[in-house]
Amino acid sequence: MAEASGPLVGLRVVEFVSIGPGPHCAMLLSDQGADVVRIDRPGGNGWPNPIMDRGRTVMTLDIRSDEGRDRAIALCDTADVLIEGFRPGVMERLGLGPDVLCGRNDRLVYGRMTGWGQDGPLAQTAGHDINYIAMTGALAAMGHAGERSPPPLNLVGDFGGGSMFLAFGIMAALWERERSGRGQVVEAAIVEGVSNLMTMFTGLTPSGRISLHRDRNPLAGAAPYYRTYMCADGRQIAVGAIEPQFWAQLLTTLGIACDRPSDLQREAAWPETTRLLEAAFASQPCAHWTALFHGTDACVYPVLTTQEALHDPHLQARGTFVDQHGIPHTAPAPRFSRTPGAIQDGRTADPTKTLWSTA
């Protein structure tokens, strides 16, 4: 197994297998050097993912059996962090709840990932990313006026409001443990994480600086300076020329003459200005606009597919993607100047053997 590298080297993490945000959070910790052991169920989680599942030691246990539960408890006795994403009460029924595990290991940071939270009227109800962002107001603010809200993949709920907040909570609890010597339970509820992500919008709406109505929200595609446009070849170009100086450069590069560029940026002019830009971008293929805007401050970039992103010159120069056993992976992020992270090799552990000592 490749030697671990990163600021979290020496951190021991037990991940109880789940789908989506839990595995992503564990990947983030592993990429920064943590020793992550996944307790898998026989047959796996049904969603094998060679990229997001990287960097673990996998131990298959039936935690519903006495033997499997005892081995899981023994592993958690010497762990720093636990990650679980079951419905509320499941870990307690299995004899693996915080009272048991934190009672045995008072330094354990017990990370819990749910959609609705550990309590509340919907706590025991099934749900997915689209339901969580629907509750928070995020989904209602997305898309075009008069049309249904498009699900933004599951980036906003599962990963933005879920795994990122769980990772942040775990690191905050570890920082506090340096002073108190004690771990604690970290509860990350996706509905709360997404509500937190929405604070920029909810904080600005009372002042009138921004609107969450889709036909008036400049960051939801209503404004001509922040949306995508179709090119002559059917490809899309993304425009983000919010600031006046960037907007002026956009118009100049497109060859649109205007004595006062700000006049075309006013909300009352949005429909007319949008039609003007739609006609301009539709006149040439995407490659033409990509070359024309390259290196400018007009905030224009082609809309790439994930496969095209692998070959983007900027991302290649940054080393954003790395090859691992013939599969392109995202490099560990964020980056550290002294203790850079690295993708660890995974392995399968013998469930009858002890992985970590009590030292």
C-alpha separations of 134 from 32, 149, 271, 349 in Å = 33, 10, 28, 40
57 pLDDT band, cuts 50/70/90, is: very high
pLDDT of residue 207: 87
Q: Which amino acid is at 69?
A: R
3 state DSSP class of 13 = strand
Q: Whole-angstrom Cα distance, residue 12 to residue 25?
A: 14
Q: In this structure, what is the dihedral angle of CA atoms 8, 9, 11, 17, given to the nearest 10 degrees? A: 80
Q: With contact defined as beta carbons under 8 Å apart, do 331 and 320 qualify?
A: yes
219 pLDDT band, cuts 50/70/90, is: very high
pLDDT per position as a tens digit, 85-125: 999 999 999 999 999 999 999 999 999 999 999 999 999 99
* Among 128, 144, 297, 345, the one annotated catalytic: 128
Q: With contact defined as beta carbons under 8 Å apart, do 285 and 235 qualify?
A: yes
Q: With contact defined as beta carbons under 8 Å apart, do 163 and 25 qualify?
A: yes
Active site residue 350: no
Checking DSSP bridges between strand 81-84 and strand 109-114, what pairing results, if any?
parallel
Task: Give the residue extent of every domain in the chain.
Answer: 12-197+324-348, 218-230+236-302
Class of domain 12-197+324-348 as given by CATH:
alpha beta
Q: With contact defined as beta carbons under 8 Å apart, do 342 and 31 qualify?
A: yes
pLDDT of residue 2: 59
3-state class percentages of the chain: helix first, strand second, coil last, to nearest 5: 40, 15, 45
Peptide bond preceding 334: is omega within 30 degrees of 0, i.e. cis?
yes
The answer to which of 65-69, 124-128, 347-351 has the lowest mean pLDDT is 347-351
151 pLDDT band, cuts 50/70/90, is: very high
358 pLDDT band, cuts 50/70/90, is: low
Residue among 161, 163, 270, 162 at smallest CA distance from 214? 270
- Of 330 and 45, the one with more pLDDT: 330
| Token code pair at residue 64 | 């519903």
Q: In this structure, what is the dihedral angle of CA atoms 156, 157, 160, 165, given to the nearest 10 degrees? A: 160
pLDDT of residue 95: 98
In whole numbers, what is the pLDDT of the chain averaged over residues?
95
pLDDT at 244 over 80: yes
Active site residue 99: no
pLDDT at 153 over 80: yes
Q: With contact defined as beta carbons under 8 Å apart, do 113 and 162 qualify?
A: yes
CATH architecture of 218-230+236-302: 2-Layer Sandwich (3.30)
- Of 356 and 15, the one with more pLDDT: 15
pLDDT of residue 189: 98
pLDDT per position as a tens digit, 76-87: 999 999 999 999
Residue among 5, 89, 74 at smallest CA distance from 37? 74
CB neighbours (10 Å) of residue 89? 12
> What is the pTM for the complete model shown?
0.94
For 55, residues 6+ apart whose C-beta sits below 8 A from its C-beta are: 27, 30, 31, 36, 343, 344, 345, 346
* Among 31, 35, 80, 158, the one annotated catalytic: 158
pLDDT of residue 1: 43
pLDDT of residue 104: 98
CB neighbours (10 Å) of residue 305? 7
% of residues, the chain, pLDDT over 90? 90
- Of 45 and 78, the one with more pLDDT: 78
Instruction: Give me the helices (H) in the chain, please.
Output: 21-31, 66-76, 90-93, 98-104, 129-136, 164-180, 190-197, 199-204, 244-254, 261-265, 270-281, 286-293, 306-309, 313-318
Residue among 191, 211, 215, 192 at smallest CA distance from 201? 211
| Token code pair at residue 161 | 């409001």
- Of 271 and 46, the one with more pLDDT: 271
